[in-house]
Amino acid sequence: MVTYVLLSASTIDINYYADKSVSYIVATDAGGGYDAYARLIGGYLEEKLNAEHVIIRNIPGAGHYIGANTLARSDPDGLTIGTFNAGLIYGQLTNNPALQFDLRELTWIGKAAGEPRAVIISTNCSIKTIHDLLNAQDPVPFSGAGIGSASYADTRLLSEALGLNIKIIPGYGGTESEMAMMRGEICGQVGSTSSAQSFVDAGYGNFILSVGGTISGVPNAIDFAVDNRAKQIIQLITDMAELGRITAAPPNIPIKQLNSLRTAYENALKDPRLIAEARRMGRPIEPAYGENVADLVISALNQPPETLEIIKNAIGLGDP
């Protein structure tokens, strides 16, 4: 049995937050995993901070870049936090001009979970198994968010590792991929398992491959890696998936507000009510906090030259 120890509320400046609202930027549309986690956490953060409100602000566009850039430019007063996907790490590694700040300079609050990735295929698609996908003669249409997003980057990298004949169609964020699969516009996507679980449970799609985790009855990508380069790429996708559901604040937050945000976030993620609610939603809670998350981000940005070359060659910045 796990015992959760709440941090002392004395490290939270409740007088500062008592009459103020905190904006929680979500760098995608309403619906989908990032929005679900922010709305779940936001209510408990409001309570732990003793804030008047925690307001969810959906700022979608450009594969999470617009929302993340907005967060980075926000006043460092402890009243704005945000969540976006780890694909921006790929963007910084490839010098994507859409990223207008250095991820090392953000104030890292925590992460709610790291989630394995999966290949999800629509039941309307002629592709039924990973072997069908590996042997596809014609390009198979897959969705992606904006170029440079985690879903786009992971799809490109997985395709590179396994030699998949995939055509990525960018521009699908949040739950738009599932809707496009139901309409027959695309055949599949690479995404987090929890976000796609309800889609699969409803009979609209199937998991045909897992990456960085296990799904009962579903083969793992590492078993199809034919050389060390392919294994290295799959390991990279796995490492990036560990940084799922991150929450950050702008650079240079005053230490008092920083301690308040980190303590409140940690207490929220340890609250048995939040854990129970997340379980009902099918959303895993596997948190890390503060400097531990900052260290994970810095480690991900410190790739050796050979790995960096793989990323640049697989992703690039042009059309797929």
Q: Is 87 helix (H, G, I), strand (E, B) or coil?
A: helix
CATH of domain 9-114+244-303: 3.40.190.150
Averaged pLDDT for residues 61-77: 94
CATH 3.40.190.150 maps onto the chain at: 9-114+244-303
Task: Report helix angle 33-49 to 255-270, nearest 10.
Answer: 110
pLDDT the model gives residue 316: 62
pLDDT of 246 reads 95
Domain with CATH 3.40.190.10 in the chain: 117-240
pLDDT given at position 243: 85
At residue 87, φ and ψ (nearest 5 deg) are -60, -20
Comparing CA positions, the residue from 258, 256, 289, 240 lying closest to residue 107 is 258
Output the pLDDT for position 319: 39
Question: Tens digit of pLDDT for each residue in 10-52?
Answer: 578 889 999 999 999 999 989 888 999 999 999 999 999 999 9
The CATH code of the domain at 117-240 is 3.40.190.10
pLDDT digits (tens, 9 = 90+) for 84-102: 988 899 889 989 899 999 9
Q: Are 51 and 78 within 8 A, CB to CB?
A: no
The dihedral region occupied by 31, where left means phi > 0, alpha psi between -120 and 50, and beta the remainder, is left
Mean pLDDT of the chain, nearest integer? 90
Please state, as a whole number, how many other Cβ atoms lie within 10 Å of the Cβ of residue 224: 18
Of the CA atoms within 13 Å of residue 85, those in its CB half-sphere come to 35
pLDDT score of 150 more than 80: no
